Amino acid sequence: MRKYLFPLIVLAVAGWIAYGQATGDGSCATGVCPITGQTLANKNTSTMSTEDANSLKNKLTPIQYAVACEGGTEPPFQNAYWDNKKAGLYVDVISGEPLFASVDKFDSGTGWPSFTKPVSAEEIVEVEDTSHGMVRTEVRSKTGDAHLGHVFPDGPDENGLRYCINSASLRFIPVADLEKEGYGEYADLFSDDK
């Protein structure tokens, strides 16, 4: 499976580059994500004040701050959750809002946690990303405004989406701790009846 994944990713990236060039300015002319159909937000969506930034620098580790607040990317296969197989909820490292569930996580072979869908689409903001000579769709958290990663059209589920997310933007809550941590309402996501 992995030997076929890389060529597919290369083809997807080439398609994105061609799509960006076809619009004339390297951007999505429609303002709508061609992958998910959501309206794209403006790139500069952050409203973080200096005081907020300093507070977050004290709260987060250096890699968490670099990724979530400055739009960085952590190394593949060298991050906390790329191979986490435990059942639980992944929440925004800044706001604590639920973002992804382990029931929607899969091994994409990329070295980053990958999910087929978010817990709530309303908590995900999509932003056009034309960095590195490609046109991609960045995903950010709505409440915490954290850079999460990107969404790609090569996922295994019927929706065909792969949310490729940085572990540094997430905090993992095991199922056994959901109630204690204040996320008891999400326990049904992990029931055997699902």
Active site residues per annotation: 164
d(CA 105, CA 101): 7
Residue 177 dihedral angles phi and psi, to the nearest 5°: -105, 0
Measure the CA dihedral 16/170/121/12, to 10°: 20
Residue with tokens 């590195």, as numbered in its chain: 132
d(CA 82, CA 167): 7
d(CA 32, CA 52): 30
For 181, counting Cβ atoms within 10 Å of its Cβ (0-12 exposed, 13-18 middle, 19+ buried), the class is middle
